[in-house]
Chain A
């Protein structure tokens, strides 16, 4: 049975370092044009439903701002 995942990015923890973006094999992450309260452009998901749950982006995120959650 195929597992489904949700990419939860804590916008307020994100510092916009962009390290998560190139590691996603499916290119599901991109920089947002909006800023968080600290003035960082943050990372956000595109086509989030396609996430395979490889957690590379979460591993890469220095701030532990990305969580990959199992969606039942």
Chain B
């Protein structure tokens, strides 16, 4: 982490392209933090990322590292293919909740279960953002979305899936943490979690997973500032913010 007295420069691993995300979107924040991590670990030139289908589908325009597309939900399998072919490269997937926890749940769980030494970054904002704010597997009970217009009814629509908890039942993952982009503290914590995840891979330790509770002001239908409150209060109540797996060992709450 840079010391406050050294100022702050835009991360070198970000391209000059203006990101297409809405004002206050968590994707922009995590992109920035991820770029900072690539800079600090000096791994940009040996990193290959996998972009999802969803709001972050254009991630390859924003990072100065190699990035591949993946079919919706398949990022963990694509990352597996890349990492197995090039074991000395740093491989990450960057996925939203629909991509990772709905259509790609199988690929997500099995990559973790094999302990693929990749880094999976999971942006949980409780909605399908790109397609217009539909219900996601992580949508909160009662939350109104385009496809749960009267609120998510657990009786017929299920309850929000807690991915960290689910993956933590597996034996192979090395590092699992959930953080919340709920303000300045959340930005610092998210950066730290990403740094730990990539350090895990750099040191050849195994599978790392970071879930970021992330604001989507557009589909939360509130201001960016109020979105942070939704993340910190409503979301964090459903999705406990903590480390679940550290150095391959489950961490109890």
Contacts and interface: CB of A to CB of B under 8 A. Distances in A.
B22 to A, nearest CB: 8
Q: Which range contains the number of A residues in contact with the other chain?
A: 20 to 34
A24 to B, nearest CB: 10
A29 interface: no
B4 A63 contact: no
A69 B5 CA distance: 10
A58 B32 CA distance: 11
Interface residues of B, number: 32
A61 B2 CA distance: 16
Interface string B6-37: 11111100100011011111101100100100
B188 interface: yes
B219 to A, nearest CB: 15
Contact of B8 (A13, A18, A66): A66
A52 B3 CA distance: 12
B233 interface: no
Interface of A: 3, 5, 10, 12-13, 15-19, 22-23, 40, 52-56, 58-64, 66-70
Interface of B: 2, 4-11, 14, 18-19, 21-26, 28-29, 32, 35, 183-184, 187-188, 191, 217, 223-225, 228
